[in-house]
Amino acid sequence: MTRIEKWFLVIACCFGVIYGLIIPPFQAPDEVHHLYRTIHISQGNLFADITSDARLGGTLPNHYQEISDPFLRLRYNKNAKTNYKEISEIIGLTKNNHQTKFLDFPNVGYYAPINYLPQAFASWLIAPLNLNGIIILYVLRILGISIWILIIFLCIKICPKLKALWLLTSTLPAALFTHSGLSTDLMTHAMAFLALAIIFQMYFSRTYSFRNWITFALLCLALTYSRIIFAPFVLLGFLLNTNIFPSKKQYWSLNAANVFLIVLILCVQYKLLGESFIPYDQYNPLFRDGKQLNPGIDPTAQLNFIFREPVKFMGILINSWIEIMPFTMAHYLGKFGWEANYIPKSIMFLLLSGIIIQAVTIKINFNLLTRLKVMGVGLLCSLALSIVLYMQWEKVGASHITSLSGRYFVGIFPIFFISIIGIYPHKLKINYNAIMWIFAWIISMWCVFERYYR
């Protein structure tokens, strides 16, 4: 095990677990509904239930609402605080599995179940212990960050040429905040990092392995099923040189088969999402408020608007990116919680500078055409994300896309950083970045205590 691998394991484990423990319950975005969905799946329900009175969710013990409601006041209210005594009192509540009710989780009920499987399996294993829901949440948090650390460790082992980039981008404060909470982003981002590590290992080593190719192909399929915005990842397979394959025919046939399967999954997902997503205006009026649904949303009508007015939409897209990019980068680097909670701007600037400097100084020969291809995949993923967010969160024909949160780009931005590697090859010690990252983690923990505790 190399020094950088040891360093990653020690630091990521320590700070990741600390983040998972110090952030109050249900303060990661949508964590309440993610817990509901996880428990629902652990009971044997892969998909959320759609009721005859236009609700999306599942039947769960009342206990889960009893433990989550007290913490809702912390959301979007910077003056609201909690303490460990309050958390301990709620942990002391007894869970009665026989008292149940239908709990709504419409904003996550249509997500692919693959995103919840590790946590749902863990919930199923510990179900006989009849633990308090807060304890279950903390167990799932620790499991989640452990999976994240393991996957990134594998990325470092698989593609050591980019080990510094895997390390820095995966341990940004916002990334640790995101993945130490209960979230579907965990599995999506983990699969994205792993897919990138495998394809670039084959690219740099100029060796073809059928096992690696199949793993990459399966990850692309799982990613697309998980989040359709990652469908362009399949195009990374075309980066490989045809000479490393047994024949050019195999190169083209394998890539073509992968693209065909991705298109098939996109079609299936479009149908499934259309059947399971219930917009705010069609949702039961008695249960739709406070469920992260926006009024005036019609995904089908929005998609028709995009096809009908492509030039206008491109203008909306460009203007949105120009205006929102600074906030998106801030989210990506150092945001935590529901509302606009950030670590200091100066720290975020140094973190971004550290990643860029590390990337451009990696001693790898990357030609211009390859850089453009890699960047193109990143742009296609960003375009797909923008379209999906425009359909899900904005009114039909809205003039801006306001929901370009940086946490959605944890699996996308590394592609852009890879596209600039080796521009200025230079031997660079990681000592500066190590000190900078540790300092940022300490500052971010202080920010969490300042925001949430009294």
2-20 pLDDT, tens digit each: 776 777 777 778 888 888 8
Question: Per-residue pLDDT tens for 191-247?
Answer: 999 999 999 999 999 999 999 999 999 999 999 999 999 999 999 999 999 999 999
Check whether 124 has a pLDDT greater than 90: yes
Q: In the prediction, which pLDDT does 428 show?
A: 61
Is residue 306 very low, low, confident or very high in pLDDT (cuts 50, 70, 90)? very high
**What does the mean pLDDT of the chain come to?**
91
Q: Which pLDDT does position 431 carry in this prediction?
A: 61
Whether residue 38 contacts residue 77, with contact meaning beta carbons closer than 8 Å, is answered with no
User: Does residue 429 carry a pLDDT above 60?
Assistant: no
Q: What is the predicted pLDDT for the residue at 42?
A: 96
Q: SS in 3 state form for the chain?
A: CCHHHHHHHHHHHHHHHHHHHHCCCCCCCCHHHHHHHHHHHHCCCCCCEECCCCCEEEEEECHHHHHHHHHHHHCCCCCCCECHHHHHHHHCCCCCCCCEEEEECCCCCCCCHHHHHHHHHHHHHHHHHCCCHHHHHHHHHHHHHHHHHHHHHHHHHHCHHHHHHHHHHHCCHHHHHHHCCCCCHHHHHHHHHHHHHHHHHHHHHCCCCHHHHHHHHHHHHHHHHHCHHHHHHHHHHHHCCHHHCCCHHHHHHHHHHHHHHHHHHHHHHHHHHHHHCCCHHHCCCCCCCCCCCCCCCCHHHHHHHHHHCHHHHHHHHHHHHHHHHHHHHHHHHHEECCCCEECCHHHHHHHHHHHHHHHHCCCCCCCHHHHHHHHHHHHHHHHHHHHHHHHHHCCCCCCCCCCCCHHHHCCCHHHHHHHCCCCCCCCCCCHHHHHHHHHHHHHHHHHHHHHHEC
Residue 368's region, left for phi above 0, alpha for psi from -120 to 50, else beta, is: alpha
Q: What is the pLDDT of residue 432?
A: 66
Question: What pLDDT was estimated at residue 14?
Answer: 82
Residue 430 has what pLDDT?
53
* % of residues, the chain, pLDDT over 90: 73
pLDDT tens, position by position, 71-116: 999 988 888 999 989 999 999 888 888 899 999 999 999 999 999 9
Q: What is the pLDDT of residues 352-405, one digit of tens each?
A: 999 999 899 888 888 899 999 999 999 999 999 999 999 989 999 999 998 888
Q: Report the pLDDT value the prediction gives residue 424, as an integer from 0 to 100.
A: 83
Q: What is the pLDDT of residue 1?
A: 66
pTM of the complete model beyond 0.85: yes
